[in-house]
Amino acid sequence: MEVLTETRIIQGGFLVDGYPVTGKRKFDCRIADCFDCDAAPGCPILKELFTRNQNSETKNLPPAGAGACHPKNGLNELTGAQWLYFTKTLLTTSFPSAYAHHLRKAHGANKPPQLMKLLIEFFTKRDGKVLDPFAGVGGTLIGAAIANPPRQCVGIEINRKWIEIYHRVVDHCREEGNKINRYEMIQGHCLEILKEFPDNHFQFIATDPPYNTHFERTMCTGRYQEYANRRTDYNMRSDHKNDLANLSSYQDYLDAMEKVLEACLRVLEPCKYMAVIIRNAYQNGEYIFTHADLAQRARKAGFIPKGEIIWYQAGTRLRPYGYPYSYVPNIVHQYILIFQKPDRSIVSSFLPGPRDK
């Protein structure tokens, strides 16, 4: 094995220096020069580097045993270094296909359990109760199960098909020796199910709601179908009348989401957080800033906007939209919107009382 020193390569948003490369051949060029080399697409050095580094920048997250949790940390059980890492507003990941991804990928918008684990570990302490009102195939529930230590979790999903896949995923993981917890997945309309929970019941809400109303024809069909990233028809909706994806207009979708956000606010403990993963859209020749519209509705529902994380899943395939006539973006990122439920008792203490008027 030879080690190429004095080299730098940018991959997944971070730098790797002096990466070891196997092989008998001697190379006079720097790895960084490969990006300007005509042989770059088939270069064995780059191929090995990318393969070795496919776990993304999240591998640089400080280990759980590094340092200690601050005694006044009432939010999570992370060290100062882990806390600081998570506050970056840009997150690049390339998680391996694990936790029965071959089953979960039937849902075109399934989220990596490893991503949900990161969110859950930051916004909860051990034994914290997590809710996902749009649970899909259970990415949040699996994330809670693989958190260190595991958290409690409840999912709500309107489509029986996705619930069945979640249970198959848990069965498969257990058969493979990964004894993850199986959590409750309730079938039904989230607005109706949420009524059954008491006020201030959950310590964290993490969800990946429908991004928009359903379109029969998308940018992943027609002449662009050969460039699709996932082998799915992207049809995640059900036949249920209360499925938000079946609403007739974008305005109706936002109105319905506002009602869901109001219900989430009630069941969330004061001062705790909610993370909403959302993606913008491009439809009918117009770019739709869904994340901004949804953030406004969350504020209207009573949440305090606290920040956003731009999440990029490395390896997303680019498609030649608009070429060679007009600019059409490849939307390769998603937003993780962070909201907090205010403590009304603290807020009310600053409001003028009868004697102050």
Greater model confidence, 215 or 288: 288
Alpha carbon distance 54, 301 (integer Å): 40
Q: Give the pLDDT of residue 31.
A: 40
Q: Are residues 44 and 165 in the same domain?
A: no
Amino acid at 154: V
Domains: count for the chain: 2
Q: Give the pLDDT of residue 217.
A: 46
Q: Which helix (H) or strand (E) holds 282?
A: strand 281-283
In a domain, 354, yes or no: no
Q: Give 356's pLDDT tier (boundaries 50, 70, 90).
A: very low
Print the domain residue range for 305.
57-349
CB neighbour list of residue 133: distance below 8 Å, 6 or more residues apart: 156, 190, 193, 194, 205, 207, 209, 260, 263, 264
Alpha carbon distance 118, 104 (integer Å): 19
Q: Are residues 81 and 20 in the same domain?
A: no
Sign of CA dihedral 308, 314, 317, 318: positive
Residue 331: CB atoms within 10 A of its CB come to 14
Q: What is the pTM of this model?
A: 0.75
CATH number of the domain enclosing 212: 3.40.50.150
Q: Are residues 231 and 161 in the same domain?
A: yes
Q: CA 47 from chain center: how many Å?
A: 27
Q: Give 238's pLDDT tier (boundaries 50, 70, 90).
A: low
In a domain, 357, yes or no: no
